[in-house]
Chain A
Amino acid sequence: MHLDKKIPYTSKEQKLLLQAALLDKEHSINAWQQWKKIVDLEGHHDSGSYSLFPLLYKNLQRYGVNDPFMKRLKGIYRLEWYKNQRLFYDMSKAIQYLNVTGIQVITLNCLALIALYYKNFAVRPLADLGILVPTSQALLTIGLLKKAGWIQTTNLVNDSLCYQHAIQFKDQSGKELDLHWHLLFESCQEDPDRDFWDGAVPIKINEVSTYALNPTDNLLYIIVQGVRLNTEPPIRWIADAMSIINSTNSEIDWPRLIIQAKKSRLIIPVKEALNYLYENFQAPIPKSNLKNMNQLSISCTESLEYRIMTRNPETISNTLLNTLLGRFPLYLVEYLRLTNDTGFLRKIIGLPKYLQFRTNAKGLHVLCISFISRSIITVKQLLSRLGTNISE
């Protein structure tokens, strides 16, 4: 997990857009007017903002907003409805296939959000199919998916499930499938996974029976997924989280959320996310629960991890230590999380292979060469600085 920035990710424009898409009439229309003033409607819109347009349309239409841009927003709503309906239909077949072969499946991501919370096929663009299977069935599932024509697009390190929580597939038409055997990258252990499976709720996707995370676990998952660095601005998590909270507020087990956040050492991002939703989007989170969350003590381990994970590698100050180590601290933190249940000796033995996987190095020798060249650069920088100091 690498966080490019701390929460919130939103720019001023994106925040206004979210408010227009999510809030009550007065605040929504106000935000919409402000957004229009600062955004060129005819210009380019980032993909995160675009993905909110159908939800924006639905909200504004509900409030009777009459604006020239609404026609095109309605067109986007139609388009996403069309695309989503087709994807939903195709993806439900993949779930059905796994059901028939005896694989237990928890449906993740967009499909579950649409089926349970949004209950609307246009407002939440479907990106991919995400499924969680028991770790014991992961390798079997991989084989079955390949047999069904899905192409594996990420490798398994050492053909082992230890160092990863999921891999990706694509089908012939380009549809993507995320296969998880652990729900969270940050928590690849049996214990939290068991909690998620025990708490799963039955749902139907296009008459196909499957399971989804319960609202509390889904909220945790959305927050943790959303605050990770993504190729597109990860602002959808805000709308997703709000859809869960708004539609099932009475069902959110806030103490359970706190327990799960503690177990996975994710108190900081969950706390920051909930405060952000409460302060900016009127999230109906009981004040007592927020207070409990804010009063939780953070372990030194989690604090250190969070500081490492939220460093932007492009803006890291050019210290000698950073030159020497690069992203090693981040990879080490990731690795320690992944191998939390592993003995010390096995951790040490497995680390080089993990570093190879993360750096795409073709062999251990490449890692060694990289470290040697970093050391040389570091020494040169050190000598250069010493020389500068002496001449001063």
Chain B
Amino acid sequence: MNTNSLMRINVPKIVHETIDGETIILNLDIGNYYSLVGVGAEIWSFIENNATIGYIIKEISNNYQGDREEIESAINNFILELNQEGIVIFNNENSQQNDESAHVQDQIKLKENKSIFEVPLLNKYSDMQDLLLLDPIHDVDDQQGWPTINPEKSLENK
């Protein structure tokens, strides 16, 4: 993986939407569902805007408190996982553009106050048959909503 590598979202089989700080992703061919929040969702917004890995690492490091090497490693692992899940594809060509071009900067809002960096996680849900049967009002955790099961309900089932 080259920091100048271009990558793109694997359309049309991957569809996604970001709502209220969370990115939800679906692989239409397999049916796997994914969720990204926090740093993961922020990285996604960079990917959507065709940023290179190097640029993402640089911007996240600027926006968050943490060891630069740890941040770089976590981001690389995260993007690799996205690639392994078939969500993101690397292009063979490297970016010849200067990532600091105005259009990329304009599209991505930089944070004023630095938060502590948290390792980005790709939450994957592959057992969708059971999740689709849940009552999304009564069977789910009322702080998370679907697809998080109500812990009391899952204890009952055991």
Contacts and interface: CB of A to CB of B under 8 A. Distances in A.
Interface string A135-173: 000000000000000000000000000000000000000
Contact of B145 (A41, A75, A89): A75
A75 B146 contact: yes
Contacts, number: 64
Given A72-B142, A89-B28, A207-B12, A77 B19 contact: yes
Contacts of A197: none
Contacts of B28: 85-86, 89
B26 A79 contact: no
Contact of A75 (B12, B26, B128, B140): B140
A83 interface: yes
Contacts of A72: 136-137, 140, 142, 145-146
Interface residues of A, number: 25
A129 to B, nearest CB: 16
Nearest to B138: A42
Given A68-B142, A74-B145, A79-B146, A85 B137 contact: no
Interface in A174-219: 206-207
Nearest to B28: A89
B152 interface: no
Interface residues of B, number: 24
A56 to B, nearest CB: 13
A86 B12 contact: no
A347 interface: no
Given A61-B20, A83-B132, A78 B12 contact: no
Contact of A71 (B12, B145, B147): B145
A306 interface: no
Interface string A70-114: 011111111101110110010000000000000000000000000
18 contacts: A41-B137, A58-B19, A61-B20, A73-B145, A74-B19, A75-B140, A75-B145, A76-B136, A78-B145, A79-B136, A79-B147, A81-B24, A81-B26, A82-B24, A83-B132, A86-B28, A86-B31, A206-B12
Interface of A: 41-42, 45, 58, 61, 68, 71-79, 81-83, 85-86, 89, 121-122, 206-207
Given A72-B146, A78-B147, 7 more contacts: A42-B137, A74-B19, A76-B137, A78-B145, A79-B132, A81-B17, A89-B28
Can you list the 7 inter-chain pairs with the closest CB atoms, starting with the nearest? A75-B145, A75-B146, A72-B145, A79-B146, A71-B145, A76-B136, A89-B28
